[in-house]
Amino acid sequence: MIRSATPVTMIAIAAALALALALPVIAPGYYVQFASKAMLMGMLALSLNLIVGFGGLVSLCHGAFFGLAGYMLGFLTPDSGGASLWLSLPVALLTVAAVAAIIGALSLRTRGIYFIMVTLAFGEMLFYLFHDTRIGGGSDGMYIYFKPEIAIAGSALLDLEKSNTFFYVALACLVGTALLIRGLVRSPFGHALVAARDNERRALSLGFPVFRLRLAAFVISAMIAGLAGYFSAAQFGFVAPQLLGWHLSATMLVMVVLGGMSSILGPLVGALALIGLEEVLKSSFEHWKLIKGLIIIGLVFALPGGLQQLAAMLQTGSSQVPDLGADVAEPVPAPAGEARSHV
């Protein structure tokens, strides 16, 4: 269950928000763009944690939802100018929702290791769909020359081409996502989701429709990932099959674990930390991925509770190592008329 935020946390959130609001004024343009990118990654991590942290389901296809929404923006952007956001964003998100509903309905028939493998495979299916066929420019990807237009009655409301405006839109999306996830986790839906994670069999015998519950969480989470992917594609003006690949999904999982899965905002902190770290490593080492890999291995063994555990250790001086906490649900014997599980 989620603890209420302490005063210290509240102050930290307020300070971070104030800093974010002031950033375009105090920092050079490069940092503003970088911060926009990092915030979109943060949204991605927040969305994934709904499924991984609160649902106990390790999904490896969220990168595909991120990339798919980007491609949708690409398809909907005309050659002559920007696509209308009012049209292209809903279409992109509904497409992602439809694909996620199909993938989720199939994957959620399985549990544990199977679920990981099946989501990975379906995610890669989308990757190969864009990589091996001519859809969206094949393996070369496609350019999006114009950012989506936000207009009311023909007059532009916001100009996303301006990096400061884009930054504030991304910030608004991020804050909205955090509030949405907070609301979901505290709602009856969220409580039922966590109950199914902790003891699936018990949740079922109390009468919770676990399959539908998880499917809804999966689709919502995919749509948020899609929202991040849409704006990410708009920011970079380019989409390629690699965006859908599972390495991005795995990196998202690293962000979630790094930040800590038991809190709503932890994954955001993890995302910002990892993106920042990658940026530093990239500029300092040619073989930065080697170091990233070693850091991930170190995280698994030394700091499975992520940065939250580090903070707790610094406060109390203890170094008790908890396990990651997801995927602890007991195996359930075959129920009638429902998906069956083992392992």
Partner 1 sequence: MDAITFAVQLLNGVQYGLVLFLVASGLTLVFGILGVINLAHGAFYMLGAYLAWAIASYTGSFALALVGALAISFALGVALEEVFVKRMIGRDHLAQVLLSFGLILVIDELRQILFGKDVHSVAPPSWLQGSIQLTEVLSYPVYRIALCLVCLVLAVAIFYVIQRTRLGMIIRAGAENRDMTRCLGIPFDLVNRYVFAGGIALAGLGGILVAPISTVFPGMGDGMLILSFVVVVLGGIGSVTGAAIGALLIGLTDTFGKVFFPQVSSILIYVLMAGVLLWRPNGLLGKA
Partner 2 sequence: MSEILLKATALEKRYGGLKAVSGVSIDVHRDEVHAVIGPNGAGKSTLINLLSGDVSVSAGAVMLGERDITNLAPDRRARAGLGRSYQKTTIFQNSTVFENVRLAAQAHGGQALRLFGSVVRDSNVNARADSAIAEVGLARRASTIAKLMSHGEQRQLEIAMVLATEPKLILLDEPLAGMGQAEASSMIALIGRLKFGRAILLVEHDMDAVFALADRLTVMADGAVIAAGSPGHVRNHPAVRSAYLGHDHGAAA
Beta bridge partners of 158: 150
The listed partner (partner 1, partner 2, none) that binds 18, CB under 5 to 8 Å by sort, is none
Which residue, 77 or 107, has its beta carbon nearer to partner 1?
Answer: 107
Contacts of 217 (CB under 8 A, 6+ apart): 50, 51, 54, 55, 184, 189, 193
At closest approach, how far in Å is the CB of 212 from partner 2? 8
Which residue, 1 or 297, has its beta carbon nearer to partner 2?
Answer: 1
- Binding segment for partner 2 among 25-33, 183-191, 280-288, 308-316 (CB under 8 A)? 183-191
The listed partner (partner 1, partner 2, none) that binds 301, CB under 5 to 8 Å by sort, is partner 1
The listed partner (partner 1, partner 2, none) that binds 189, CB under 5 to 8 Å by sort, is partner 2
At closest approach, how far in Å is the CB of 124 from partner 2? 31
Which residue, 188 or 337, has its beta carbon nearer to partner 1?
Answer: 337
CB of 106 within 8 A of CB of 216?
no
Single residue of 204, 250, 277, 312 touching partner 2 by CB under 8 A: 204
Distances (CA, A) of 179 to 12, 82, 174, 305: 16, 29, 9, 23
Which residue, 204 or 250, has its beta carbon nearer to partner 2?
Answer: 204
What are the tokens at 77? 């952007």
Position 133: which residue type?
T
CA distance 212 to 234: 33
Which residue, 138 or 201, has its beta carbon nearer to partner 2?
Answer: 201
CA distance 149 to 182: 30
At closest approach, how far in Å is the CB of 205 from partner 2? 5
Q: How many residues sit in the footprint of partner 2 (CB under 8 A)?
A: 33
Beta bridge partners of 151: 156
At closest approach, how far in Å is the CB of 2 from partner 2? 11
CA distance 59 to 44: 13
CB of 167 within 8 A of CB of 35?
yes
What 3-state DSSP class applies to 84?
strand
Let me know if 179 is exposed, middle or buried by CB neighbors in 10 A (0-12, 13-18, 19+).
exposed
Which residue, 7 or 333, has its beta carbon nearer to partner 2?
Answer: 333
CB of 181 within 8 A of CB of 113?
no
Q: Is 333 among the residues that bind partner 2 (CB under 8 A)?
A: yes
Which residue, 83 or 248, has its beta carbon nearer to partner 1?
Answer: 248
Single residue of 143, 189, 236, 288 touching partner 2 by CB under 8 A: 189
Q: Is 186 among the residues that bind partner 2 (CB under 8 A)?
A: yes
- Binding segment for partner 2 among 14-22, 192-200, 265-273, 283-291 (CB under 8 A)? 192-200
The listed partner (partner 2, partner 1, none) that binds 323, CB under 5 to 8 Å by sort, is partner 1
CA distance 221 to 185: 12
What are the tokens at 209? 């429709």
Q: Which residues bind partner 2 (CB under 8 A)?
A: 1, 183-184, 186-192, 195, 198-199, 201-210, 212-213, 216, 332-338
